[in-house]
Chain A
């Protein structure tokens, strides 16, 4: 019984990985006409990936989803809007501020800004610029989760908020310096890490299901959408203020 469950999970994880293996093999052998190097290493790595996915999905069901929903229920029962919003902001801010992808992107952005002559190229000003960028992205993700939670509580329709955000992004693109636009657009995508996404999704769905009159499907989703939209606005805003 248990072995059949484990076998099924292994098979699922292998199916998830299969497309990547096929694509890489196809391009390596047919297009680039080169042999696959170090077959042993590749096979070993693929085994690790499959085992990792099995554990991750198991952990989602046992740990991340329940804790996210439990926190949402407990905070909703407590009935204090202040603490709920505090939790939402802190969750967004704290998981983003130390995100390695964000640290990498912001220091890269500092290099580009100094190459473009927007800031001077001393180590100190590079560091300061990168730090400011990181803080504004982390702050914007915190604010995004906060707004998303407010939306669930009040039942605001999501499309007005998101489309309004798009319009702001487009307007800011016109006036923002060219060096920051690409980074701003990408910043939206890199902020939400693999551990934050399930937690935030569970928080939203848990909250929507514990407030009367909210549907988990209509109101529970959407938090991640805010977390990928607001950083774009804040990064461009940061650029405008710094380069004014």
Chain B
């Protein structure tokens, strides 16, 4: 009974998300385009699937994974776990937080793999590129970027170094990569930054950030708790362009190698 109540609440919230889109599209169809929508029945059924699927997905996460993940984030950042019970710590020792970095990386990777908006973009990219961009290749590359980003973000919270320095260096790397990366991947790489952080990643990552900044000595949750999401949206850009560069470079090497063989 409790579950049905929770589920209908989530379903309602998802419907509210879709409402502006429905109003907008109907409004444009009726007032501006003045044409019937082709395959209307199929579209409506598809829309219902999306809303129902997303609600089930969120309800399942709420039931199974979020509570556990949030408790774990709190336990792993607890000074009693990191320094041992009864230790009084005045200053954070960044080397003591190994498990936190590992947890951040692994939870970043695994939640990104399950992220529905990334699944959608990877699907589209696969279709548009006529199969040259593989769905799993893109998703794993993006997930590696998020893993590295969130891990580095927890390191930043532990050490208390300023956020903008990391972002600045990240931007510089992106700019340099943009010059050298194959042109076809650039728009997709930029997009992959924005799609990584939504329904699955944000709640767990936010719990980790707030837990850490509240327990690491000398950190202020108000100032240091933010920024993990920014890391998670910056680093996938770097890994996606890096991956494309490596593939491109390998292909060129292969072609050169074959040309050499043919010449002989």
> Residues of A at under 8 Å CB distance from B?
16-17, 19-20, 22-24, 26-28, 31-32, 36-37, 41-67, 70-71, 74-75, 78, 83, 87, 90-91, 94-95, 97-101, 111-112, 115-116, 158-159, 162-163, 166, 169-170, 173, 178-179, 181-183, 185-186, 188-190, 192-199, 201-202, 205, 216-225, 227-228
Contacts and interface: CB of A to CB of B under 8 A. Distances in A.
Interface in B171-213: 171, 174-175, 178, 183-184, 186-188, 190-191, 193-200, 202
A190 B229 contact: yes
A23 B52 CA distance: 27
A94 B50 contact: no
A158 B194 contact: no
B233 A27 contact: no
Secondary structure call for the A interface: helix
B252 interface: no
Interface in B203-240: 222-230, 232-233
Contacts of B232: 189
A70 B37 contact: yes
Interface residues of B, number: 101
B187 A218 contact: yes
A27 B197 contact: no
Nearest to B230: A185
B17 A95 contact: yes
B191 A48 contact: no
B264 to A, nearest CB: 37
B4 interface: no
Interface string B145-176: 00000000000000000011001100100110
A227 B68 CA distance: 32
B88 interface: no
B76 interface: yes
B49 A23 contact: no
